[in-house]
Amino acid sequence: MSRTDYPVEMAKPLLPLREAMEQTGDHTAVKALTDLISKAEMKQLTIAFCGHFSAGKSSLINSLCGKRVLPSSPVPTSANVVSIRNGEPRALIYTSSNVSADNSAGVLEVSPEQLEEYCKNGGAYTSIEVWDDIPLLKDDAVLLDTPGVDSTDQGHSLATHSALHLADVVFYVMDYNHVQSESNLSFAKSLSDWGKPLFLIVNQIDKHRERELSFDEYVEGVEAIFAAWEVRYDGLLFTSLRDKEHRYSQWAQLPQLIEHMMNEKEGLMRHSLASSASHVTEQHLTRQAEEREEEETTLLEEIGGKEGIERLERELGLLDQKEAELRSKPSREREKFRAELEPLLANANLTPADIRTSAAAYLESRKPGFRVGLLFSGGKTEQEKQRRAAELVRLLQDQASGQVEVHIRTMLRQLGEAHQLWSAEWEQALNAELPAVDEALLEMKRSASAEVSPEYVLQFSKDIRGEIEARYRRAAMMLADRLLEALGAQGEAALQALDASRAALLAQSASAARYTALQRAADAEAAGLRSLLPPAGPLTSGLLPEVQGPPVPAYEPGEALGPHTGTAESVAAQPQTPGAPPPRKAAVHGQPTAGAQRRRRLDAAAARLEAAAALVEPYPAMGSAVRDLRARAASLAGGTFTLALFGAFSAGKSSFANALLGEAVLPVSPHPTTAAINRIMAPSGGAEHGTARVRMKTPDAFQEDLAYSFRLLGLGEPGADWQKRVKALSPQDVHPAGRPHYSFLQAAAAGWEDTAAQLGQDVLVDLNGYRNFVANEKKSCFVDSIDLYYSCDVTEQGIVLVDTPGADSVNARHTGVTFNYMKNADALIFVTYYNHAFSQGDRQFLNQLGRVKDSSAMDQMFFVVNASDLSSSEEELEQVLDHVSTQLRSNGIRAPRLFPVSSMLALEGKTGNDATLLEQSGFIRFEEEFNRFAGSELADLAVGGASEEIARVIKRLKTRAEDAAQGEEVLQRRRDELGSIQEQSLQRVHLLAERSMKAELAQETAELLFHVRQRLGYRFGLFMAEAFHPSVLREDRGNLKAAFAACGRELLRMIAIELEQELLATTLRLEQAGQTWLHKQVTDCVDELKRVSGGMDLSLPLNECWSTPVLEEVRLEEPSGWKAYLSYFRNPKQFFEGDGRQRLQEALDPIIKQMVIDVLPDAENKLVQFYDNQLGQSLRHHSRQLEERLEEAVSALHETLTSGIPAEEWEGLAVQLGQIERE
């Protein structure tokens, strides 16, 4: 056979297979086989390029072509499959039917200049073909460019998968920093399983920094992760398009590999056609199974499952039992409600002592002969009678609302929500129909003939209580009965369904024969089609070229500059010298540090406060003022500035921190490093520069983390054999969101023997030991937090830098720790990577940032796009910033402060004293804005507080001066009044300490949590779409039942995390409500004291900081391993393109809502108790402060009235303090 005949020979085996497919009516398979036949006849080798968006696929293809054939950008561009051939320049656009006016598909011919717009609009075009002058391809090959595999557009992923059946060879392109992303690994695994020749390209190798990580270690890490995922590939290349001559780049090999493949295209095409034909056939059989599945499922359901009819009797019995339960449910719910209502009413204290006193006064006013005054008393008497009745009604209503009504509202709401009956109309019914206490009730229960005595007052109070209880009982039961009427209507529908089930069970026996016949016919069809397939053996030797390993460069001295910040293994290999910390370096900074400017202002303010305290210290009457001034001065002088970094793994948080510090302090790696909270601060408390305190997890905390990861991966509870079970776990069985937990368990199992003994301890290490703990996951997984003591320009100004784990890390579940940094840090920086999409973890985190921002009086958040040096132009950079801004706004961050920076260039500029690099890095603009914020906005708050403190003292001095300036007659009168003033004032202060907001807190908390439930309900569809995603539930994924259960666990994890975030956000709202109430109570008390005392100024600084309550981790119980819901998932097509996912969502919606309802009462009680206690402590604290100030003010007034300190002296002190304040 001549070489010119081989296309016909290759196509020949596919013809009978296509004919068989035509007979089945599977047009998809027929088209795929027709494409393969056409491909064989065209005699061109098809080379596909796949990978992450912005990994450089399009740019790499352009470089191979020797010109810009395709658009390229760091945000997604190729939305279609684009094929590229050698020939006269032109482009054909194949439109989909929804573009043309007559709804028919067509072809548009455009110029290469118009191509970019068409590449982006994937929905309107099915594919694009491009011809240009590309000598490399000759007439022997075609290149395919596919959409990014991590695109959020499901159409992009489908386009990529559908094009791969034409590919003879696949090049999978990855970004240097994101090789280990789950989407890379899972897609590469699916390519490997397909059996096509696969070459992996790690692009952008110019990002590699030898001082951060040796290249050999990087390569070992890449090879290890693909080995762990069982990805079989035919070659691994490292390339750089920015620097093709880079010492590790294998760019020169790529055109040679393609030329070799074109020379061997016959053998490669035969293998590819056989593989694709097999794949098409298996997909056809899967579709056939999907088409039968509904009928088979129906038959199985009619049969009663594969076990058959033996279950009939048992199931019929169960139906009878369910019917009885449904019929009795309304009455059972009514009794349950009444059983809860009666003790509530019986235990309600509706007539405490103050109400009985008011009742006695009311009864007294109704006695014959009651009157007020002697002359003209008729009107006064009537007014007094009305006042006493109104006062008693008010007290009774307040007591009934707090003791009874709020609980009845909650009970009725819970009853309605538990059965999905509650609505806004029911809330209106509560307001309209729950009773109110009125004067008519008092008159109804008052006996006109009874003598007013203590015994009758008690009886009257008892009668009133009984009537109020009866009214609430009647109203509550009437409302409950109406709710339960609706429940009965629901039950009728369920009873009808039971009747239908009973009829279906009786018709099962005829279905078994039909099911068996379907199975036999399917087996026969599969055997027939597979017999028509061309043989597809392994590739013969020599068809594929061998990839030569990257060159080993000579040692370059420049690479050794700066401290080594590589992985744990490389760090451990360096000689360590305990007790010899690194020298302090004078880093070069583009701007004066924020801390320096802030420190100067705070130190100056502290000095003014100290001077003010020293000035008034000789006067005993100013004792509390001296204490307040010195306390504020101490807080300013010793205060620190906390700067917290957040972001996903590989966003460059650690490299950004190094750039900020001006030194390469933290280890940096393209693989995830930071696994625990890292705080970098100036040495204190005897700690030496360059040392670290590593706080290991307690055994209990580690066990909790272990159990959480086990549950999330569906492994049950960890037992004594947990390490063995972890080692048997395969990564492809793990849901994408579970990947960090898989890595955590693998690291924990590998490091357990060496590190377990250190659990619960604080370990002191030097800098190399610190880097080892941070970068080595076998150690870092056991770490709770690390404090690094490092002296540099930034830390010496009081700045504490906090580097947090990624939002997608295992520790992201510890939402309380992260929230406290969000709430309390002086500044927050969220770092994202130049060409990195936001993950689901990022989005949940950003939503929480948005909530905190909305509750904050100041915008202390900065958003950084790192690695901006990757941009090829200003236009491209603006495109990326617009993309990130849009993503931030869509996740709740309005008007973000966004800064593009290159941490790498900034650090090199600072350490190398290179002003040009520093300018290019974009860091100067960030530091200017950050310094303005920290040195001006934040410092203004602190300095303003100091000025307010001095102003309060000036006011008190002026009061002293006014007192001293009084005449002798006034002074004598005030001396006589002092005792009475002090007694009245103390009584008012004691009343302040006894105030309570508990009832309002309970109502506020219930309302806030009601809205939390609503928001979770609104977002449930989004959680479903993210958890049950087409990229996870694919036919080539393996065990789909296990994948389905993993999706279910991910759904529960996402909802649990969201609920925890919502509860933490609720603490902010409750804190605001509590602080507002507290401020009003204290201010009202101070104003009243001022009135009672004749002008004493007892004002207090109300800047108290409250802690955040520690809430229990939300745990939503997994419903029976998700087996009960598998009926909604028959196959991916039915689930995503049909109504499977929607029906599953409808089935899960009430279950998830009930889970949330069950979890919230404990949280609600804890929140109410916490803030009630917090308010009580604050009230008592402010009461003690007021008592102290009152005693001091009285003593000062007495001293002023008796000692004769002239008004001029007090006025002079006030003037001097004013001068100090203005300095």
For 443-493, how does the pLDDT look when each residue is reduced to its tens digit (9 = 90+)? 888 887 778 888 888 998 899 999 889 999 998 889 888 888 888 777 777
**For 622-629, what is the mean pLDDT?**
81
Distance CA 1095, CA 985 (A): 12
671 and 783 inside one domain: yes
Q: Is the pLDDT of residue 351 over 70?
A: yes
Question: Do the beta carbons of residue 180 and residue 218 sit within 8 Å?
Answer: no
Residue given tokens 């970068």 in the structure block: 775
Q: What confidence score (pLDDT) does residue 553 get?
A: 56
State both tokens at 314.
């048992």
**C-alpha neighbours within 13 Å on the C-beta side of residue 1220:** 28
What contacts 1086, CB < 8 A, 6 or more positions away? 1098, 1099, 1100, 1186
% the chain with pLDDT above 70: 82
**For 678-706, what is the mean pLDDT?**
90
Q: What confidence score (pLDDT) does residue 101 get?
A: 43
Q: Is the pLDDT of residue 938 over 80?
A: no
Residue given tokens 């386009």 in the structure block: 159
Q: With left for phi above 0 and alpha for psi between -120 and 50, is residue 195 left, alpha or beta?
A: left
**For 75-82, what is the mean pLDDT?**
60
Distance CA 656, CA 905 (A): 10
State both tokens at 334.
């009514």
Q: How, if at all, do strands 169-175 and 45-51 pair?
A: parallel
Q: Is the pLDDT of residue 1189 over 90?
A: no
* Angle 1185-1188-1193 from CA coordinates, rounded to 5°: 120
1009 and 883 inside one domain: no
As a residue count, the chain comes to 1223
Q: Could you give the angle at which helices 27-42 and 14-24 cross, rounded to 10 degrees? A: 160
500 and 610 inside one domain: no
State both tokens at 124.
């309107």
242 and 321 inside one domain: no
State both tokens at 178.
């994101």
**SS3 (DSSP) at 597:** helix
Cα distances from 793 to residues 587, 768, 798, 902, in angstroms, run 7, 21, 9, 20
Distance CA 168, CA 101 (A): 37
**SS3 (DSSP) at 162:** helix
Q: What confidence score (pLDDT) does residue 1113 get?
A: 79
Q: Is the pLDDT of residue 887 over 90?
A: no
Question: Do the beta carbons of residue 880 and residue 834 sit within 8 Å?
Answer: yes
Domain end call among 455, 476, 505: 505
**SS3 (DSSP) at 922:** coil
Question: Do the beta carbons of residue 551 and residue 247 sit within 8 Å?
Answer: yes
User: What pLDDT band is residue 689 in, cutting at 50, 70 and 90?
Assistant: very high
Q: Is the pLDDT of residue 695 over 90?
A: yes
pLDDT digits (tens, 9 = 90+) for 701-726: 899 888 888 888 888 888 888 988 88
Distance CA 862, CA 939 (A): 17
The separation between CA 843 and the C-alpha centre of its own chain, rounded to angstroms, equals 6
pLDDT digits (tens, 9 = 90+) for 795-840: 887 888 888 876 555 555 555 677 777 777 888 888 887 666 565 5
Q: Which ranges of 446-510 does DSSP label H, i.e. alpha helix?
A: 454-505
The count of other CB atoms within 10 Å of the CB of residue 23 is 9
Distance CA 161, CA 230 (A): 20
Q: Is the pLDDT of residue 587 over 50?
A: no
Q: Kindly write down the DSSP assignment for every residue of 230-288, as one continuous string.
A: T---SEEEE--SS-TT-TT--TTHHHHHHHHHHHTHHHHHHHHHHHHHHHHHHHHHHHH
Q: Is residue 952 part of a domain?
A: no
253 and 346 inside one domain: no
Residue given tokens 């008011």 in the structure block: 358
**More confident position, 1203 or 109:** 109
Q: Is residue 1025 part of a domain?
A: yes
pLDDT digits (tens, 9 = 90+) for 270-318: 888 888 888 888 888 887 887 777 777 777 777 666 566 456 556 767 7
Distance CA 897, CA 862 (A): 5
**More confident position, 999 or 1115:** 999
**SS3 (DSSP) at 350:** coil
Q: What confidence score (pLDDT) does residue 647 get?
A: 79
Q: Is residue 185 part of a domain?
A: yes
Distance CA 405, CA 562 (A): 70
693 and 829 inside one domain: yes
User: What pLDDT band is residue 557 in, cutting at 50, 70 and 90?
Assistant: very low
Range of the domain at 206: 44-263
**SS3 (DSSP) at 438:** coil
Q: What confidence score (pLDDT) does residue 1 get?
A: 43
pLDDT digits (tens, 9 = 90+) for 99-142: 444 444 578 888 777 776 666 555 567 778 889 899 988 888 99
893 and 998 inside one domain: no
257 and 369 inside one domain: no
Distance CA 1132, CA 662 (A): 52
**For 519-532, what is the mean pLDDT?**
85
The separation between CA 333 and the C-alpha centre of its own chain, rounded to angstroms, equals 38
Q: What confidence score (pLDDT) does residue 1172 get?
A: 92
**More confident position, 340 or 577:** 340
Q: Is the pLDDT of residue 75 over 70?
A: no
Question: Do the beta carbons of residue 613 and residue 606 sit within 8 Å?
Answer: no
pTM: 0.64
To the nearest 10°, report the CA torsion of 1006, 1011, 1015, 1018.
110
The count of other CB atoms within 10 Å of the CB of residue 568 is 22
The DSSP H or E segment spanning 744 is helix 739-755
Q: In what order do the strands lie in the sheet with 898-900?
A: 762-766, 691-696, 783-789, 677-681, 799-803, 641-647, 827-833, 861-866, 898-900
Q: What confidence score (pLDDT) does residue 171 get?
A: 92
**For 1004-1021, what is the mean pLDDT?**
89
Instruction: Give 3-state DSSP helix, strand, coil % of the chain, rounded to 5.
Output: 65, 10, 30
Q: What confidence score (pLDDT) does residue 47 get?
A: 92
**For 337-365, what is the mean pLDDT?**
88
Residue given tokens 């992009």 in the structure block: 156
Q: Is residue 74 part of a domain?
A: yes
To the nearest 10°, report the CA torsion of 54, 59, 64, 65.
130
Domain end call among 475, 505, 535: 505
Cα distances from 430 to residues 412, 480, 488, 957, in angstroms, run 9, 11, 21, 55
Q: Which ranges of 25-98 does DSSP label H, i.e. alpha helix?
A: 27-42, 57-65
**Which amino acid is it at 1223?**
E
User: What pLDDT band is residue 856 in, cutting at 50, 70 and 90?
Assistant: low
% the chain with pLDDT above 90: 8
Q: Is residue 542 part of a domain?
A: no
**More confident position, 152 or 739:** 739
914 and 1002 inside one domain: no
Sign of CA dihedral 299, 303, 304, 306: negative
Distance CA 218, CA 231 (A): 18
807 and 700 inside one domain: yes
Q: Is residue 615 part of a domain?
A: yes
pLDDT digits (tens, 9 = 90+) for 226-252: 887 778 888 999 998 888 888 888 998
Q: Is the pLDDT of residue 150 over 60?
A: no
1033 and 1168 inside one domain: yes
Distance CA 931, CA 933 (A): 5
Question: Do the beta carbons of residue 876 and residue 841 sit within 8 Å?
Answer: no
Cα distances from 115 to residues 111, 129, 148, 752, in angstroms, run 7, 10, 18, 56
* Angle 878-881-887 from CA coordinates, rounded to 5°: 145
Q: Is residue 282 part of a domain?
A: no
Distance CA 17, CA 40 (A): 15
- Count of domains forming the chain: 4
User: What pLDDT band is residue 985 in, cutting at 50, 70 and 90?
Assistant: confident
**Which amino acid is it at 27?**
H
- Per DSSP, 201 falls in state E
484 and 361 inside one domain: yes
The count of other CB atoms within 10 Å of the CB of residue 360 is 20
CATH number of the domain encompassing residue 146: 3.40.50.300
Q: Is the pLDDT of residue 1173 over 90?
A: yes
Q: Is residue 884 part of a domain?
A: yes
**Which amino acid is it at 180?**
Q
What contacts 268, CB < 8 A, 6 or more positions away? 45, 168, 169, 197, 261, 539, 543, 544
Least Cα distance to 21 among 11, 8, 10, 34 occurs for: 34
Q: How, if at all, do strands 783-789 and 691-696 pair?
A: antiparallel
pLDDT digits (tens, 9 = 90+) for 382-396: 888 889 989 889 988
Q: Is the pLDDT of residue 349 over 60?
A: yes
Distance CA 1215, CA 1220 (A): 9
Sign of CA dihedral 849, 855, 860, 863: positive
Distance CA 722, CA 705 (A): 13
Domain end call among 505, 521, 542: 505
Average pLDDT, the chain: 80
Which of 23-37, 40-54, 315-329 bottoms out in mean pLDDT, i.e. has the lowest?
Answer: 315-329
